[in-house]
Structure 1
């Protein structure tokens, strides 16, 4: 039985296998998020073979906004890779399996296909998960910068007489000053930050500084109108997408 016949026997109808210079190209009946058919390759070298993507998937994912520099997103990707016995070849920016004998390749195809289908989920994390990931990245960076100087408190109302305002990240500095950080991931969170700042002014609370940090200042999840309201308010503003280090240093300077 030829390799092409063996592949078709292991998986299902709807696949098209053709010989190419590196080995075999396999066109699947499923589509990539871009609408193009999902294709992978079987590369053969010196009596061994491995499965690998088309070489464009990583670029496609990053082009659609997947930030592989994010520690949390990288961890999610690593978990998927481990689960499916695949890896990201950084030299070629390809998803691939390890090299194996040619007679083992067909049996690994369903597992590799499962990975290629599931990796797309990183683009379609539900809103709460995306929000959580950004907050975790931000909180981790703030924690590292203020280590030994401040207590970092997440998701609490720090002012008893303002219990309706849940602050995403509170920096309680040892000198008594506090920084209340709101993550700007939605219109609601932006307006909450604006109202919190107004309450500080009205009630004369001067030991708190309110920050609004956008995940992406130009992102679609916050309307232009509400971005303008926030920028024109007395909030301290940061743009995580425009420079993470600069944002953290801006926060740090407010207690130094």
Structure 2
């Protein structure tokens, strides 16, 4: 086989699943590369004054947030932001769209290929294995707590316990435990928090399970309802880290502040 023949074969393979159609905003491009939840990666390309903007429809990140796979703060958000920046792109957190602004002198083909590369890498970031996802979610929760409670509380890992919490809040003023926080993105982790909650005495620090999401988000509805009926405190992180933080603030041990 000659090099030109191989080049043609590779080009045909690359472009075989590619389709381009005209839409009011410019062009819609669809590929045969799958996103993390199975649909093909597609995006839109528009032109203004000879420069090209590329963006997706926002469904990719919105679906990841809804399923509990991604939050817009924390470790994975930082990794995603850094990767997108390498490709001249960014995540618009208001619309959930990944967008690439025009670069002077760059043609539409190069802009489209760079954006597709960014989307593939974004998919890979969200396809971390379950163990890494669990670790990353705990990091996200811990990061949000440090950012919001660091002035008044000591934030540390709980080590001296058979069933340790992911985050231990202790008052800097009194030294008392203010809350035991579990990052619950699985039934197993939620049940661990529930067990700790049932073991605690009334005058001890409350146990709070920060839930990543229901069903596809990691915790089943059945287990959530069981824990809810037994009084476990459970804010949702996927519906908004700020709301989860406010919930924690409202439920920390009052006399520990």
Instruction: Give the TM-score normalised by structure 1.
Output: 0.71
Q: Which residue of 2 aligns with 1:138?
A: 141
Contact 1:190–1:212 at 8 Å: present in 2 too?
Answer: no
Per-residue deviation at 1:81?
Answer: 0.7
- Computing the radius of gyration over CA atoms, which structure comes out larger, 1 or 2? 1
Q: Deviations over 1:77-123 (max 9, x none)?
A: 21221122212356765423231356633234333211112222454
Name the structure where strand makes up a greater proportion of residues: 1
Q: Which residue of 2 aligns with 1:28?
A: 31
Superposed CA RMSD: 3.7
TM-score (norm. length: structure 2): 0.70
Alignment of 1:106-145 (within 5 A): 106-145=109-148
The equivalent position to 1:211 in structure 2, one of 191, 202, 207, is 207
Look up the SS of the partner of 1:167 in the other structure. Answer: coil
Alignment of 1:1-256 (within 5 A): 12-14=14-16, 15-20=18-23, 22-33=25-36, 35-54=38-57, 56-65=59-68, 67-89=70-92, 94-101=97-104, 104-157=107-160, 163-173=161-171, 174-178=173-177, 179-197=179-197, 200=200, 208-216=204-212, 218-219=214-215, 221-224=218-221, 226-233=223-230, 236-241=232-237, 243-244=243-244, 245-251=246-252, 253=254, 255-256=256-257
2:42 counterpart SS class: strand
CA distance in 2, matches of 1:48, 1:217: 40
Q: Could you tell me how far 1:155 is from its partner in structure 2?
A: 4.4
Comparing 98-107 and 73-82, the one that deviates more? 98-107
Segment drifting more, 15-24 vs 237-246: 15-24
Which of 1 and 2 has higher RCO (CA within 8 Å, sep 6+)? 2
Write the distance in 2 (CA, Å) between the matches of 1:43 and 1:171. 49
CA distance in 2, matches of 1:217, 1:105: 39
Q: Which runs of 5+ in 1 are unaligned?
A: 1-7, 158-162
